[in-house]
Amino acid sequence: MSIRIGHGYDVHKWGSDKPLRLAGVEVPHTIGLLAHSDGDVVLHALTDALLGAVALGDIGQHFPDTDPRYRNADSMQMLQHSAALAQDEGYQLSNADITIVAQAPKMAPHIESMRQAIAQGLGVSISAINVKATTTEKLGFVGREEGIACHCVVLMASLSESAQ
């Protein structure tokens, strides 16, 4: 069996009146994220990790933020499209480990819904998806609440011995 590792990282700046969407879940907060799409920084990091694992570039190449089609785009659809591209390359997601880096809001009440939304969106078991969150102890741009970051790593496995 062939395996591939992918890594994704994304940052968005606070300052929008859009609803805050993280990992496909609407999280109540006083401010939203600036973005051309729906600003789902978690799904963007995961999408980049999937594309990275199969050497298909990055989210910006597939869904340019200069393209009006992706204005307020549903990031779950971009994720699903990228998973389909990975599948075309012969790989499916084995597991994803996601770390949200934010000073606020509190993520703990939403973690299970986020895992569920991603698992459902990708058609994988919830046990394949881990979501965790940390603050930066008020340090740096995250600590000053200027923005939010997300890291993601994925493992992809070949669908069959011959698919490489």
| C-beta of 63 vs 91, nearer to Mg ion | 63
Amino acid residing at 13? K
Q: What is the smallest separation between the CB atom of 47 and Mg ion, expressed in angstroms? A: 9
Q: How many helices (H) and strands (E) does the chain have?
A: 5, 7
| C-beta of 10 vs 142, nearer to Mg ion | 10
Q: Count the Cβ atoms, other than its own, within 10 Å of residue 92.
A: 16
Q: What is the smallest separation between the CB atom of 39 and Mg ion, expressed in angstroms? A: 7
> Residue 92: helix, strand or coil by DSSP?
strand
Q: Which residues bind Mg ion (CB under 5 A)?
A: 10, 44
Residue at token pair 């973690």: 111
Contact 50, 156 (CB under 8 A): yes
Q: What is the smallest separation between the CB atom of 148 and Mg ion, expressed in angstroms? A: 10
| C-beta of 10 vs 51, nearer to Mg ion | 10
Q: What is the smallest separation between the CB atom of 12 and Mg ion, expressed in angstroms? A: 6
Q: Are strands 91-101 and 32-33 parallel, antiparallel or unpaired?
A: unpaired
| C-beta of 21 vs 110, nearer to Mg ion | 21
